[in-house]
Every structure is written in structure tokens, then in C-alpha cells.
Amino acid sequence: MISIPAAPVWPNGTWTPPSTIRERCALRHELKREIELLPIEHMRSDTAYKLRLKLLRAQYESDSRLILAKRLQKHCQFWSIAGISTLPDELLCDIILIATEQSDFISKMTREFAHVAPLVCRRWRDVCATMPQLWSTLVISDTLRHPTCDSVGTQRWSNIVKELPRLLFRCQGAPVTFRFTTRDLDAQATIPTVFATLQTSLASIRSVDIQLSAPYVRDVSKCIATSLPALESLSIQNAGYF
């Protein structure tokens, strides 16, 4: 079996433009076609064949790097003259916040704008990291879990609980909206642990929205039976299992 060298990735592992992907794929197909045209009877023994194969791969890698370099140069030139790249960080923060608040109306993205904005470029990522308002909505939900992967789902919940302190720290005291939605009994059993972690941020919790099965409602009542000075909204619903 003839191996085709993998295409080089975009610098820093960031998003690769579709046009660049198409050009690289075209190079890969051309390389594969050139290799297939080589004399099959000399594939293993002919030194000339091996040398030709090596040269073809080297040419492919060279062309791929050239394509990436040109695309990256155009990318940098575009962002250097784009008006939004010249905005001060404070104004960029305001724009991102406004777009976040209106994202439900202007787009049907599967992910919230707050999660997409840091992926635009390095500067946007750094700016978003300094905006606690973007991270003050904590959503713990099993809606994305595959129904046949119970063991993976349980592990996922364990990881979420472990990450909760870091997520709360990123809020930096901003009013927190907390949503917990699941029908998974193992996940619901982590409610006391989750609220124990939230104890350090109770003073800044603005909204609580919980959907779970009836047996765990009492646990929730015990957990929130404390002072919540910033609380504006509280919703506890039965998720469907009794």
C-alpha cells in the first residue's frame, strides 16, 4: 500500500480556509495519480522508482507549504487593514457583548456566540478571556450525549464537576446564571457536589434553572436553602422521570 504524506496543518493549529483545503487535496490527488503511473513491476526493487517517489513527495510538501504561506500572508494582510482590528479592546468587548445578547435573533448557530468569538483569532481570544460577562452563564446539560454511551456520559459528568471551580473563577464575580438539565440519574446524583462547589459563588448567582427528576428535588431544596442576595430567578422543573 502506497502512503500519501499528510497535508501540513495551518500554523498554530487554527482553522484552515476551505480554499486552502481544496488546493491541498488537489495536490494530494495529483501526487497519487503520479505514483500510480510509475511502473508497478519495479515498486520494491527499482532504485529509480524509489527516487522518483521521494521526489514526488518532496514536491508535494514544498507546494503545500507554498500554498499555506501565501494564504497566511493574505490572511495577515486582510486583518491588518480590517477596521475591526484597529478598535481598542474596550470597544471590541462592547461589540462582542452586544452580538452575544442578540445571537439568538441574528443566527441559528448550534453554539452560542460567546463560545465562537474566542476562535476568531488570537486577539479575540485574549480579549474574550478578560470579559467575565461572556462566561457567567454556566450550562450543564446532557442534550449532546449519545444515548448509547452511558459510561462515557458518566465520565463526562465527572469531568464537568471537576471543571466547575475553574469555570466559576473565570466569571470573576460577575452575576452568574446556572442551568442544570439532565435525565441521567447518575448525573443528578452529583447535584450536592455541584452546589457544594457553587458555595463560593452564591453571592453572585443571579439565576438558577434546574430540570431533573422528582427524587432529587429535595436535594436541590436543601442546597439552595441559604442566602442568595443576587438571586432574581429560580426555576425547578421535573425532567420527566419519577
Q: Are residues 187 and 214 in the same domain?
A: yes
Per-residue confidence (pLDDT) for residue 109, from 0 to 100: 44
Identify the domain boundary among 51, 81, 111: 81
Mean pLDDT, residues 2-30: 53
**Distance (Å, whole) CA 110 – CA 101:** 15
Q: How many domains does the chain have?
A: 2
Q: Please state the pTM of the whole predicted model.
A: 0.49
Per-residue confidence (pLDDT) for residue 102, from 0 to 100: 58
Residues 178, 198 contacting (CB under 8 angstroms): yes
Residue 8 pLDDT > 50: no
Contacts of 231 (CB under 8 A, 6+ apart): 205, 206, 207, 208
Percentage with pLDDT > 70 across the chain:
50
Per-residue confidence (pLDDT) for residue 15, from 0 to 100: 47
* Domain interval for residue 97: 86-238
Residue 17 pLDDT > 70: no
pLDDT band of residue 7 (cuts 50, 70, 90) is: very low
pLDDT band of residue 100 (cuts 50, 70, 90) is: confident
| Domain assignment present for 1 | no
Structural element, H or E, at residue 238? strand 233-238
Q: Are residues 74 and 92 in the same domain?
A: no
Mean pLDDT, residues 108-120: 65
Identify the domain boundary among 33, 60, 81: 81
Average pLDDT, the chain: 68
Q: Are residues 171 and 216 in the same domain?
A: yes
| Domain assignment present for 141 | yes
Residues 198, 205 contacting (CB under 8 angstroms): yes
- DSSP annotation of 20 reads H
| Domain assignment present for 4 | no
Percentage with pLDDT > 90 across the chain:
0
| Domain assignment present for 5 | no
More confident residue, 125 or 152: 125
**Distance (Å, whole) CA 228 – CA 46:** 79
User: What is the identity of the amino acid at 175?
Assistant: P
pLDDT in tens, 137-152: 777 776 544 333 333 3
Per-residue confidence (pLDDT) for residue 110, from 0 to 100: 37
Q: Are residues 46 and 133 in the same domain?
A: no
Cell (9 digits) for 98: 452586544
Q: How many CB atoms within 10 Å of residue 242?
A: 7
pLDDT in tens, 47-86: 666 667 777 777 777 777 777 777 777 766 666 656 677 7
Q: Are residues 38 and 113 in the same domain?
A: no
pLDDT in tens, 151-179: 334 456 667 677 778 877 877 778 888 88
Per-residue confidence (pLDDT) for residue 23, from 0 to 100: 65
